[in-house]
Amino acid sequence: MNTEREEILRLAKVDKVFGGDVQALRNMSLTVRKGDFISLLGPSGCGKSTALRLIAGLSVPTSGLIDWAQPRGKGDLGVVFQEPTLMPWATVTQNVYMPFRLEGKTLSSVKDDILSVLKLVGLEKFQNAYPRELSGGMKMRVSIARAMVTNPKLILMDEPFAALDEITRFKLNNDLLEMKERIGCTVIFVTHSVFESVFLSDRIMVMAARPGRVIEEVTVDAPYPRDEEFRTSADYVAHCRAASRALEQAMEAAA
Ligand SMILES: Nc1ncnc2c1ncn2[C@@H]1O[C@H](COP(=O)(O)OP(=O)(O)OP(=O)(O)O)[C@@H](O)[C@H]1O
């Protein structure tokens, strides 16, 4: 990990308590630097989505701080959910245009940005298609394009590939890393999957439930770009073993 890279965001001792007694997150600290690919890995209920919602500003911490290094502007944050959440009545282009529309920009002024992100996700031939004409993987690509189109400082992804079949998921994992290389974005990615977290991330925050907390940070120091060769390498397996062990400890800690 290169600590020289520009800092984007810092969480310091963040707690989130719901309804006075559900401690969804305890004492979470995390520094996010430009270019990081960080996974939040843990069992159901360990506070992964709560952490993303706090970072997105959709919820406020009960205590602790969430500090952006620079004031966050519109378009500085992209979010991808497990469901693609596309507007069924709108074309691919119109769906990807949405974040710009919220910024008050006209479609004609951002057409080139939309085309270039659709090329990035491999959907330039589907600009005028409607969501019902697309496969699950293609819909997720549109959702990723919509999150990336404003060139945000940070992209939050909440189990985006969990509902997809394994082959589509592997392909999207590969493509996501390729996109990250090409546009140099910064990602926080929520997943239940050890294999996915190791393939994608340079840092894995392994979390435990009741209360939700980070119990270990696993560093995946394998270089990018990563491809199918990495997925079958001894290095990959060794990192998966380390992350699995940390996850087992997380499950034991919550038992
Ligand atoms: N709005 C809310 N009100 C009350 N409790 C909540 C609320 N949101 C989350 N929780 C509780 O906080 C804890 C953490 O939830 P969270 O959804 O962040 O976990 P998660 O790790 O993302 O789980 P999953 O992997 O199942 O999505 C859980 O016990 C959950 O029931």
**Does residue 93 carry a pLDDT above 90?**
yes
Q: Is the peptide bond before 211 cis (omega within 30 degrees of 0)?
A: yes
Angle at 163 between CA 162 and CA 167, to 5 degrees: 80
Burial grade of 245 (CB within 10 A; 0-12, 13-18, 19 or more): middle
**Does residue 20 carry a pLDDT above 90?**
no
pLDDT at residue number 189 = 97
Alpha-carbon distance of 195 to 96, in angstroms, equals: 29
CATH number assigned to the domain with residue range 7-72+153-254, chosen from the 4 options 3.40.190.10, 3.10.20.30, 3.60.15.10, 3.40.50.300:
3.40.50.300
Q: How far is the CA of 134 from the centre of ligand 1 (A)?
A: 31
Confidence bin at 255 (pLDDT 50/70/90): low
Q: How far is the CA of 20 from the centre of ligand 1 (A)?
A: 14
Q: What is the pTM of this model?
A: 0.94
Measured over all CA atoms, what is the biggest interatomic distance in the chain, rounded to whole angstroms?
55
Burial grade of 136 (CB within 10 A; 0-12, 13-18, 19 or more): middle
**Does residue 1 carry a pLDDT above 60?**
no
pLDDT at residue number 3 = 53
What are the pLDDT digits (tens) for 204-236?
999 998 888 999 999 999 999 898 899 999 999
What are the pLDDT digits (tens) for 41-92?
999 889 999 999 999 999 999 999 999 998 888 888 999 999 999 999 999 9
Give the percent of the chain with pLDDT over 70: 98
Strand partners, 78: 155
DSSP letter at 42 equals -
What are the pLDDT digits (tens) for 150-187?
999 999 999 999 988 999 999 999 999 988 888 889 99
**Does residue 2 carry a pLDDT above 70?**
no
CB 9 within 8 A of CB 66: yes
Mapped onto helix, strand or coil, the DSSP state of residue 235 is: helix
> Which residue, by CA, sits nearest to atom 25 of ligand 1?
44
pLDDT at residue number 250 = 87
Nearest atom within ligand 1 for CA of residue 59: 1
State the SS3 of 99-151: HHHHCCCCHHHHHHHHHHHHHHCCCHHHCCCCHHHCCHHHHHHHHHHHHHCCC
Section 247-255 average pLDDT:
84
What are the pLDDT digits (tens) for 114-138?
999 999 999 999 999 999 999 999 9
Which of 25, 136, 120 is closest to 82 using CA atoms? Answer: 136
> Which residue, by CA, sits nearest to atom 17 of ligand 1?
49
Token reading at 185: 């974005």
Extents of the domains making up the chain: 7-72+153-254, 86-152
Distances (CA, A) of 101 to 35, 86, 151, 183: 27, 15, 15, 22
Which of 210, 176, 181 is closest to 191 using CA atoms? Answer: 176
Beta-carbon count within 10 A of 27 CB: 16
Ligand 1 is surrounded, with C-beta below 6 A, by: 18-19, 22, 24, 42, 44-50, 212
Tokens 């992350």 sit on residue: 243
Beta-carbon count within 10 A of 17 CB: 15
Nearest atom within ligand 1 for CA of residue 47: 18
**Does residue 31 carry a pLDDT above 90?**
yes
pLDDT at residue number 184 = 87
| Mutate-to-test residue for ligand 1 from 26, 40, 46, 188, highest number of ligand atoms within 8 A of CB | 46
